[in-house]
Chains A and B, each alone.
Chain A
Amino acid sequence: MESRTDVPPGTLYMLVLTTLAQIGPLHGYGIAQHIRQTTRDVLRIEEGTLYPALQRMLIKGWVKAAWRHTENNRRARYYTLTPAGRAQLTIEIAQFERATAAIRRVIQPA
């Protein structure tokens, strides 16, 4: 059985924003699926974490939501990245890279 990891703390917004930036408008299930497939099942997003996060992002104005029909003709809420969300994504990535670089320096001493 392959090992699974929860999303590292603080990276959920970045993962969701990146997904929306790459794929375009997507519903919650699609976001979760995409992240799981892209990370080859390593990262799994709990539904209990995803939806509260989406609500917070709506409040902050990073994403917009609209009801549309899926290709299977199901009604689903599609999230779209806003300009504010795009700007936030840059910030999140920068923060993440700074943090990763710092961690790497700790675990790989010169």
Chain B
Amino acid sequence: MMELWRKVTGFLRRGQLEAELREEIQTHLAMTAADIGEDAARRRFGNVTRILEESRDAWGWPALEGGARDVRYALRMMARRIGFSAVVIATIAIGIGASGSMFSLVDAVLLRPLPYPNPKRLVSLNEARLSADQLISRVAPARLEDWQRLTRTMEAVAGWDVETFAETTGMVPEQLHVASVSPRFFAVLDTSPLLGRVFVPDEERFGGPKAIVISERLRQRRFSGAASVVGRTVRLEGRGYEIVGVMPRRFEFPDSSIDAWIATQADADLLRDRGASARFYGAIGRLNRSVTIAEARRDLDAVQRQLGSMYPTTDAGWTVRIQPLKDALVGSARDTLWLLCAAVTLLLLVACANVGCLLSAQLTSRRGELATRTALGASRAAIARQLLAEALAYSLLGGASGLLIAQATVGVMRRELAGLPRIATATVDARVVAFASLTCVAAAVVCSLAPLARIGRPDAIATVLRGGRGVVVRQPITQALVSAQLALATVLVVGATLFLRGLLALQGTPIGFEPGDVLTLRVSASFNEPPDEVVQRHQRTMDALSALPGVRSVAMSHGIPGAIAATPAEFRLADEPIDPTGAHFAERRLVTAAYFHTLGIALVSGETCRMRTDPEHEYDALVNGAFLDRYAPGRNVLDRSIIFGPQESRTPIRIVGVVENAREEGYARPVEPIVYLCGFLRWLPDSDFLIRVNGEPARLARAAREAIAAIEPGRAVYAVQPLPDILSATLSQYRLRTVLLGAFSIIALTLAAVGLWGVMAYMVSQRRREFAVRLALGAQPIAIALQIARSAGMVTMAGGGVGLLTTAAALRMSRALMAGVQISDPTAYLIGVAALLGTVVVASISPGWRAMSVDPVEILRD
């Protein structure tokens, strides 16, 4: 250890050490001369320089100096072939930039643990219907408390529900996202507040003091980061809440938009209600130490079976769905990211192969230079070291540029993909840097390996002696690398085409209503508002909006049409016996009567519903075509009563009409049976307003805000968006996959074309003499060009064939990632083949032209 240290410090002051050594040896010589005379001393002493060199070598500097020399030489070689070097560096930079940014994204969204203590023990909980396994439901507070009481594998379970409130302490009402949470919520996430405290039991019971815990973000925004914020009061919908604590910035649960948390303060009725309408809690839990998910699942299954026997009407036939909380939060982004991750890995491979074949091809053109150096005494190891230094220099420069690209790309992605969970934390961090450096070094080694196999062979010298003539060098490695690139590029092109066609097909799907001229908005409201007042307020707002110029009709719905997946609910037709083979399920959509007119959903039979203000009166409902087809084919449903849930018969519902199918859940989801319920919005104060206007809906936004502010000064208007924008956003995951895959495949194809061009150009330059002879003997130039094209075609066909087969196999294996995509779409494969052929043509035009235009006289005289 010390020895190495002395060597390194010695290297740093090697000039001084050398001078000392020289002086020492001179002294020795002088002393000897004094003894035996000058001449004899010199004879005895031999070569002073050699002694000096050997003494110096003891320090082991030559390796270091040689390394420095190799790097200097490498940089000089790169500067001399500036164009070639630029292509190599750019290729590495693209490969590392793309993969670096993609892996940063994957790291932030998928790999990084949740920012809570012992995150592996956090789970997400849902209720699930046993008979219909697609039916996943949120959790009723009453049932959550039962789970908490009966479980033996969970430390604690908790629930939350997000509401939006207008906060009215300031000049303008501000809309806040507030999570209404059950007891134990903060304990499950095991996070202490930054300031103050979380709720005490008294604040969690019905009728207790109103307390609120705010986010650090809200403290900064609303209270300018004041430290004295604890103890102050905020007003939500006119009700005062005392701020008792501030949560740190990393605490973003259930999502990053949450401004504050209040306790649900469930009343006795809610704590008894086990039916469908009470299932509104999102639920989480913390496993006991060293309990596995499987053990917890068995435990909760048993708990729910026990509840099923206690409450057969509401709890039998239900089970608990449990999954790691991180998986639940990441959701569908997981598939997208892994898919893109795989794609970018292919791209990185293409880039590496391309660099390898470029370096390998250029090395062949430097055979003369290398042979000369060998002839002059450079050892094979020295040449290998020099090539490795060149490869490393390329990789380092390319890697550094790649990191800059990744840095920029991650910034853009954070802005553009803000919808992905946890993406805000994405940065190009140390691990990504390590990954990129590893890739660089691997690329360098790969790139040096191929050329190393050929240098230092005995024929190298012969090549120089013969003036480089008459040797046609086969390049099996280079050609294989090009074929590999083309194969990988084919996989990407076909995959991207499949996604693009899938996306186009989705966008072209008739959605069943006309979203074009509709503006949507919401008005903040709390569930504390009495239902009768809700109805009056809704009506007042709709009247005010209808009075605006350019407005054709105004409606309301709970949830934006075409964007929200509803939970199907169990029902039966009142005059039919209960079907023992399986329950009927339909989505419930809660709307006002003007909904169908506003969205342009056509009435098929019967009449449109009327709004009822009297809660005792039966409600009108419309059903869609899918409902009719599945549950009453060829029969009449008009005027029949429908009953939802096993015990919720408190409100009679009558079917008054049938409407066309509309894709209420978005382009990508098939139409399910739907029951539209008119008038239920009295229990849903924060429902969506839908406004059909003449012309561009976005232009009405300002007028609509002002109209509502005039009659509801204490409420915040938010989420003002044209409906087409929202629908388009539902396809964002598809679009993201398509756009990025498309970009990757274009880059890959370009790289492959560069690789192919390099190989072809090299081949032509090697065979110029041969072509010249053939032309001189009367060969047709076009025949020579065709021969070039054929060589290019061979390489391409090998690569493309492998690529197409790989694609087919890979797609079959990753069927899950390709949701919504027709994987055996022949058009996509044809496009892949066309892209390949295009690449061949583009890549062989210039080499072919150069082959045809060889001037025999000039070459043969040479």
Q: Which residues of A contact B (CB under 8 A)?
A: 27-29, 32, 47-48, 51-56, 58-61, 67, 72, 74-77
Cα–Cα distance between A76 and B3 once the two chains are bound (Å): 25
Please give the distance in Å from A63's CB to the nearest CB on chain B.
Answer: 12
Which of A47, A61, A72 touches B6 (beta carbons < 8 Å)?
A61
A59-B27 contact given A47-B51, A51-B54, CB 8 Å threshold: no
B46 A47 Cβ-Cβ under 8 A:
yes
Please, could you name 26 A-B residue pairs with CB atoms under 8 Å apart, sorted by A?
Answer: A27-B24, A27-B28, A28-B24, A28-B28, A29-B27, A29-B31, A29-B32, A48-B50, A51-B24, A51-B55, A52-B51, A52-B54, A52-B55, A52-B58, A55-B55, A55-B58, A59-B7, A59-B58, A60-B3, A61-B2, A61-B3, A61-B6, A67-B20, A72-B34, A75-B23, A76-B27
Contact with A along B645-663 (1 / 0, CB 8 A): 0000000000000000000
Bound Cα distance A32, B45 (Å): 13
| Closest beta carbon of chain A to B3's beta carbon, Å | 6
Give the distance to chain A from B13, nearest Cβ to Cβ, in Å: 13
Tell me which of B21, B30, B34, B44 contacts A51 (CB under 8 A): B21
Known: A27-B24, A27-B28. 10 other contacts (CB 8 A): A27-B27, A28-B28, A47-B28, A55-B21, A55-B59, A56-B58, A60-B3, A74-B31, A75-B27, A77-B23
Query: How far is B30's CA from A77's CA once the two chains are assembled, in angstroms?
Result: 13
The residue of chain A having its C-beta at the shortest distance from the C-beta of B10 within the complex is: A59
- A28 and B46 CA atoms in complex are apart in Å by 16
Judge if B535 is at the interface, Cβ distance under 8 Å. no
Q: Smallest Cβ distance from A4 to chain B, in angstroms?
A: 12
Q: Which of chain A's residues has its CB closest to B44's CB?
A: A47
A72 to B58, CA, bound (A): 30
Q: Could you tell me the distance between the alpha carbons of A52 and B54 in the complex, rounded to whole angstroms? A: 6
A51 with B51: CB separation less than 8 A = yes
A47 touches B2 (CB 8 A): no
Q: Which of A32, A47, A74, A75 contacts B25 (CB 8 A)?
A: A47
Bound CA–CA A59/B10 (angstroms): 9
Q: CA of A109 to CA of B27 in the docked complex: distance in angstroms?
A: 48
Interface assignment of B57: CB less than 8 Å from any CB of chain A: yes
Tell me the nearest residue of chain A to B58, going by C-beta: A55
Whole-angstrom CA separation of A10 from B837 in the bound complex: 70
Quote the shortest CB–CB distance from A17 to chain B (angstroms). Answer: 17
Bound CA–CA A74/B25 (angstroms) = 13
A29, A53, A61, A74 pick with most chain B CB within 10 angstroms: A29
Bound complex: CA A56 to CA B10 (Å)? 12
Q: How far is the CA of A60 from the CA of B32 in the complex (A)?
A: 28
A59–B30 touching, CB < 8 Å = no
Instruction: Report how far A56 CA is from B57 CA in the complex, Å.
Output: 9
**How far apart are the CA atoms of A28 and B55 in the complex, in Å?**
13
Q: Which residues of A contact B56 (CB under 8 A)?
A: 55
CB neighbours of A47 from chain B (8 A): 25, 28, 44-46, 51
Say yes or no: B58 contacts A76, CB within 8 Å.
no
- Residues of chain B with a CB closer than 8 A to A48's CB: 46-47, 50-51, 54
Q: B10 contacts which chain A residues (CB < 8 A)?
A: 59
Q: Which of B20, B31, B50, B54 contacts A77 (CB 8 A)?
A: B20
| Chain A residues closer than 8 Å to B2, beta-carbon distance | 61
Q: Within 8 Å CB of A53, what residues of B?
A: 58
B21 touches A59 (CB 8 A): no
A residues less than 8 Å from B34 (CB atoms): 72
Residues of A near B31 (CB, < 8 A) are 29, 74, 76
A77 B51 Cβ-Cβ under 8 A: no
Q: Do B3 and A59 touch (CB < 8 A)?
A: yes
Find chain B residues with CB under 8 A from A56 CB: 58
Q: Known contacts A59-B10, A61-B6: does B58 contact A74 (CB below 8 Å)?
A: no
Residue of A nearest to B53 (CB): A52
Instruction: Give the docked Cα–Cα distance between A32 and B23 (Å).
Output: 17
Bound form: Cα–Cα A13–B3 in Å: 17
A74 touches B50 (CB 8 A): no
Contact partners of A51 in chain B: CB under 8 A: 21, 24-25, 51, 54-55
Q: A18 vs B34: C-alpha distance in the bound complex, in angstroms?
A: 26
Binary per-residue interface labels of chain B (1-25) against chain A in the complex, 1 for a CB within 8 Å, 0 otherwise: 0110011001000000000110111
Q: Which of B51, B55, B57 has the most CB of A within 10 A?
A: B55
The distance in angstroms between the C-alpha atoms of A66 and B335, with both chains bound, is 70
Chain A residue at minimal CB-CB distance from B56: A55
- A78→B831 CA distance, assembly (Å): 81
- List the A residue with the shortest CB-CB distance to B17: A55
Residue with the highest number of chain A CB atoms closer than 10 Å, among B27, B47, B59: B27
Residues of A within 8 Å of B28, CB to CB, are 27-29, 32, 47
Contacts of A76 in B (CB 8 A): 24, 27, 31
Bound form: Cα–Cα A61–B5 in Å? 11
| Bound CA–CA A27/B34 (angstroms) | 16
Instruction: Give B20's nearest chain A residue, CB to CB.
Output: A77
Bound Cα distance A51, B21 (Å): 9
Q: How far is the CA of A54 from the CA of B44 in the complex (A)?
A: 19
**Cα-based distance from A77 to B7 in the complex (angstroms):** 20
Bound state CA distance, A67 and B44, in angstroms? 25
Q: How many Å lie between the Cα of A60 and that of B10 in the bound state?
A: 12
Task: For the complex of A and B, list the 10 residue pairs with the smallest distance between their C-beta atoms, beginning with the closest.
Answer: A55-B58, A51-B55, A29-B31, A52-B54, A52-B55, A77-B24, A56-B58, A29-B28, A55-B55, A52-B58
CB nearest to B30 among chain A residues: A74
Task: Look across to chain B and name the residue whose beta carbon is closest to the beta carbon of A84.
Answer: B2
Complex: A60 Cα to B59 Cα, angstroms: 10
- Chain A residues in 8 Å Cβ range of B3: 59-61
B439 to chain A, nearest CB (A): 37
A residues in contact with B25, CB < 8 Å:
47, 51
